[in-house]
Structures are given as structure tokens and as C-alpha cells.
Amino acid sequence: MSKRNAKIWMVRAGRGSVLIDEFINKEIVAIGWNELGKLPKSLDYEGLKNKLRTVYPDDVDGRINQSTGQLWKLFKDFSKGDKVITYDSNARVYYLGEIISDYQYSDVFEYHHYRKVEWYDEPVQRDFLEMESKNTLGSILTIFEVPNKIWEELHQLHPGYISDEELKGFEEARKHFEAQELQQLKEDAVFRSLEFIKDIVFSLSWQDSEKLVAGVLRAMGYKTRLTGRGADLGSDIIASPDGLEMLEPIIKVEVKHKVKSKGKIGAPDLRNFIGGLRLPTKGIYVSTTGFSKDAKIEAERANFQITLVDLDRLVELIIEYYDLLDQETKALVPLKKIYWPI
């Protein structure tokens, strides 16, 4: 096969790279499913799938299909002259090589189905790669084809083709670029997570949306009372420091959750809410569909202190006070904290 037509393959050295030493020292890449025995050259794709079903009868169809695809790549798709990459997750380096044999089978190795490989002398450090390349090579599949541009990037970074001075300059430039790219990834991840949380909140029933708002207020230090729909002049929640409405501030909360109409709250809705307030009561109007411009003006010129909370603001409050929410409220919006490098 000519170099121009050579394919590039990623082959993982087992979970946690446990087979990396065998791969490099024995000059192979290998894959499991040892119980199948040696695969005959005449075996076709459907024959391999049927063989897997026979040997692994407890595997569901999806797993059988995935196993067939992985085995077939090493068995038939690989060709002598193809390039191959494997990863040492402990040393955080990629080894590059070239496939130099047809499919072979041996019980001498941990994984019996294998191809011989001529490995390059030195690995390439993962830290020097672009973020996009890291993401591509981070696929959880045991075997997958890799774009040519990633191979070219790895090849250019190989110690045999770059001087120490060039490597140092490249590393500094890469760190600067990666910091910017990491910040962009962080912003994208935060945006997506906020949208997912909004999806959860918007899917709640109107009853649960009221319970959610009450739970957030409790996390903020208030005692709350759900009034029952339509009661107490339109307010759904009464919040106060003592729960008996003897200490200020006493807050009446209206929660509108227009799942079906998705219409914004208008000025007439605000006027109706404000009409039910009495000094020294304050008001919070929560709308998961937002507020019209006229409604915002109505709230600003009201004789009472009115706070408008749309879906974005509600999600901000949920995140800010999530650790203080009671279990009943957390169950409405179940979230898991993840950590991001700073």
C-alpha cells in the first residue's frame, strides 16, 4: 500500500493502558475476544457476527454489533503499511508505528488477535497536541480510524523531527493557545449546562414549579407557605423570616409556569398581582416564560417593591443555593457538581 493511501488507526492498550508494555516490547497491537479462537481467512462479516453470538450468548445485539465492528477492523480493515497509534495513559504519551503483518493469532499474548507493528523509537507527549486532536483521540472505542491531519500533527511533534529549541517554543505557544481554547470550552460547557437545567425546570408541572421556588426561598433563609392555587389574592407562596408573618420582610410570590402557551407575562398580569399587595408586603413574580417590556415598566413604577424572576434568574438562584436546598427540592432538579481546571 502506498503511503498516500495508508489509513491511520488508534488501538487502545486495554483499560488504563495495562497492555502498553506488551504492545511496545512485543511490537504488536492486539484485541481481545480470546474465546473465539483463530479466525479463518474465509470468514465474512456476518460469519464473524454469528460466531460472536455463539461464543457470547449473553451479549445483547448492540454489544454483538459493536464487538463485530471492532474485531473486523483488526481482522480485515487493517493493512500492511497502515499507520497505528496507541496511548500510554500513565505517561500521557502516544506511540506511533506502522503495521507490518497480516492478521495473526497467538495465546502467548494477553489479547490473542494481533498485528505486528514497527514502532517509532520515541513517543509524542499528549500535552503538545491541539485540543481538537486530544478530543478525537480520547474516544472510548478500542479501535477507530484517525484523520490524516492528526497523524501529521503527531508526526511533526515526534522528537526525531523537532529540535529541543523548537519544541520549547512550540510548547509555550501551545500553552497560550490551549488556555484560550480551554476557556472557550468552559464557556460552552457552562452555556450547555444552563440550557439543560432550564429544560428540567421547564418540564416541571405548575405544582412542582411552585415547590421549587419555595425551596429556593427556604435555602435563602426564609420560611415558606404554599397558599394553594388561586388563594390569597393570587399569590402562590408566602415567605417570611419567622414563618408566622410577624417579622418583615413579608413576601408574596406569584409563580407562572405557562408550559402550554409559553406566553410572556404582560402588564395586566403585573397590575393584578400588585393590586393584591398591602404594605409592608413585598412582591416576587416568577415567570418561566419571561416578561414583556410593558410588564417590566409596570413593576418599576409600582408603589411596592417588586422583583421579577425569569427562567434565567431562577436557574442562577438554583445554582447559587443548590447546596442549601432540602432533598425534596433537589429531587425536582437533580444536579451533580463537576470540577473544571482553573
In a shared domain, residues 54 and 151? yes
19-32: average pLDDT: 93
What confidence score (pLDDT) does residue 159 get? 64
List the beta strands (DSSP E) in the chain. 8-11, 28-31, 83-88, 93-99, 104-105, 113-119, 124-125, 143-145, 223-226, 237-240, 251-256, 282-287, 306-309
Flag whether 180 is in a domain.
Answer: no
- Asked whether residue 146 falls in the same domain as residue 219, the answer is no
pLDDT at 174 over 80: no
pLDDT in tens, 238-264: 998 887 878 888 899 999 887 666 788
One-letter amino acid of 311: L
pLDDT band per the 50, 70, 90 thresholds, residue 202 = confident
Same domain, 34 and 134: yes
Please tell me the predicted confidence (pLDDT) of residue 232. Answer: 41
Distances (CA, A) of 33 to 73, 119, 141, 210: 14, 24, 15, 54
Q: What is the pLDDT of residue 190?
A: 81
Range in 19-33, 65-79, 172-186, 264-278 with the lowest mean pLDDT: 172-186
Judgement on whether residues 38 and 102 belong to the same structural domain of the protein: yes
86 and 15 share a domain? yes
Please work out, in degrees rounded to the nearest 5, the angle formed at the alpha carbon of residue 82 by the alpha carbons of 64 and 124. 100
Q: Which residue has the cell 412542582?
A: 208
Q: Give the range of the structural domain holding residue 213, as residue numbers without chain letter.
A: 206-332
Under 8 Å between Cβ of 44 and 133: no
CATH number for the domain harbouring residue 247: 3.40.1350.10
Q: Give the pLDDT confidence of 48-100 residue by residue, as tens digits.
A: 999 999 999 998 988 999 999 999 999 999 999 999 999 998 888 899 999 99
The answer to whether the CB of 44 falls within 8 A of the CB of 5 is no
Taking residues 253-279, report their average pLDDT. 83
The grid cell for 255 is 409563580
Task: Count how many residues are written for the chain.
Answer: 342
Per the DSSP assignment, residues forming a β-bridge with 226 are: 237
133-147, 158-172, 229-243: range with lowest mean pLDDT: 158-172
* pLDDT at position 117: 94
Residue 222's Cβ-count burial label (10 Å; 0-12, 13-18, 19+) is buried
Q: What is the CATH number of the domain that holds 18?
A: 3.10.590
Same domain, 157 and 16: yes
pLDDT of amino acid 160? 58
Whether 194 is covered by a domain: the verdict is: no
Contacting residues for 200 by C-beta, under 8 A, at least 6 apart: 333, 334
Q: Which of 162, 190, 223 is the last residue of a domain?
A: 162
Separation in Å, CA 62 to CA 66, 68, 318: 6, 10, 38
**Number of domains within the chain:** 2
How far apart CA 155 and CA 144 sit, in angstroms, is 18
- What is the H or E stretch that residue 12 is in? none
Q: Is residue 179 part of a domain?
A: no
Q: What is the pLDDT of residue 1?
A: 37
The answer to the question of residue 312 being in a domain is yes
Q: Share the mean pLDDT of the chain.
A: 85
Domain boundary among 162, 180, 196: 162
pLDDT score recorded for residue 181: 67
Residue 324 placed within a domain: yes
Residue 176 located in a structural domain:
no
* pLDDT tens string 206-243: 889 999 999 999 999 999 988 875 444 458 899 988 87
Show the cell assigned to 168.
Answer: 520549547
CB atoms within 10 A of CB 112: 19
Question: CA-CA distances (angstroms) from residue 179 to 94, 154, 331?
Answer: 22, 20, 36
The answer to the question of residue 314 being in a domain is: yes
126 and 232 assigned to the same domain: no
- Rounded Cα–Cα distance for residues 254 and 222 (Å): 16
Do both 156 and 220 map to the same domain?
Answer: no
Claim to verify: residue 17 and residue 154 sit in the same structural domain? yes
- Asked if pLDDT for residue 329 goes beyond 90, the answer is yes
Query: Last residue of a domain, which of 130, 162, 194?
Result: 162
Average pLDDT in the 311-316 region? 92
Angle at CA of residue 329, ends 287 and 283, nearest 5°: 35
Helix residue ranges per DSSP H, 11-103? 20-25, 45-55, 61-72
Identify whether residues 276 and 141 lie together within a single domain: no
pLDDT in the model for residue 315: 92
140: pLDDT strictly greater than 50: yes
Residue-level pLDDT at 165: 59
Is position 85 within any domain?
A: yes
